[in-house]
Amino acid sequence: MSPKKPNRVVMNKWTKTKVLLKSKKVLPFIPDTRKFSDSTLKKMLELYSMVYVKPEIGSYGNGVIRARLLKTGEYAYQIETTEKTFKDYKSFYKSLQNYTNKKSYIIQKGIHLLKYNKRHFDTRVMVQLNPKGIWETTGIIGRVAHPKKIVTNYHSGGTLMDIKRLLAAHSTNNEIQKKIHTLNELGVTTAKSLHKKYPGLQQIGLDIGFDHTWTPWIIEVNTNPDPYIFNKLKDKSMYRKVIRYKRAAAAN
């Protein structure tokens, strides 16, 4: 029997989060994330007013729910473009439970993302093992949410954009370079932390969003990221590098 190949893809969000929470360098940039339960959801809404409920296994932003405790004391949750409001927690949770349907979910502190033209945005940071076996950030692209949706994913109607153009709405050229450097470094640090646990990993895609203090929050880490989104940029140099590294890794 041939030896088992190490994992190149890790699907479970909670599994990945638990690994990253053990890294002192990555921990400060991970929003409070816990396993979904009735009591945990209530507690986190009281703490943060807004949280995201995500399926442990899923992609493209599918199944993501935004839950809120409103200033009126009412509760609300939004799926896709539809939001429902409830007068009390019990009816709110019962309705939400019908949607989650006993599948495994996590709850993540909601980050109030910066906006571009009144639409929330975050970044996708592509990190890959280069041909020399060294982790390298090979691509960064901005993702602007569909006006009526709660996720920024391109496959859910988000708009892909050059990161410098996106940040230029908020920053000077010098500040933009510093923020891109921060994203580069955080990407590599995160990849190295996951790689220790999963030595088969060859690439990761981080969804990193900034809040109003410019803290970079790791919203999600994907171990099978879509490289083709970088082909949507006018400048194809980033895309060519991503594909070159991907092919080199696949050949190993």
- In this prediction, residues 8-31 reach a mean pLDDT of 92
Q: What is the CA radius of gyration of the chain?
A: 19
Phi, psi for residue 83 in degrees, rounded to 5: -115, 135
60: pLDDT strictly greater than 90: no
- In this prediction, residues 105-114 reach a mean pLDDT of 94
Q: What is the mean pLDDT of the chain?
A: 90
Under the banding of pLDDT at 50, 70 and 90, the label for residue 45 is very high
124-182 pLDDT tens trace: 999 999 989 999 999 999 999 877 667 776 666 678 999 999 999 888 889 999 999 99
61: pLDDT strictly greater than 70: no
Res 149: pLDDT: 67
Res 2: pLDDT: 44
Does the pTM surpass 0.85? The reply is yes
Are 69 and 93 spatial neighbours (Cβ–Cβ below 8 Å)?
no
Query: Of 108, 135, 142, nearest to 210 (Cα)?
Result: 142
Least confident among 3-7, 40-44, 217-221:
3-7
- Structural domains of the chain in order of their starting residue, each with its CATH number: 33-109 (no CATH), 113-250 (3.30.470.20)
Would you state the structure tokens that stand for residue 83, as one six-digit string?
A: 């939001």
Query: How open is the CA angle 114-119-124, to the nearest 5 degrees?
Result: 65
Are 139 and 230 spatial neighbours (Cβ–Cβ below 8 Å)?
yes
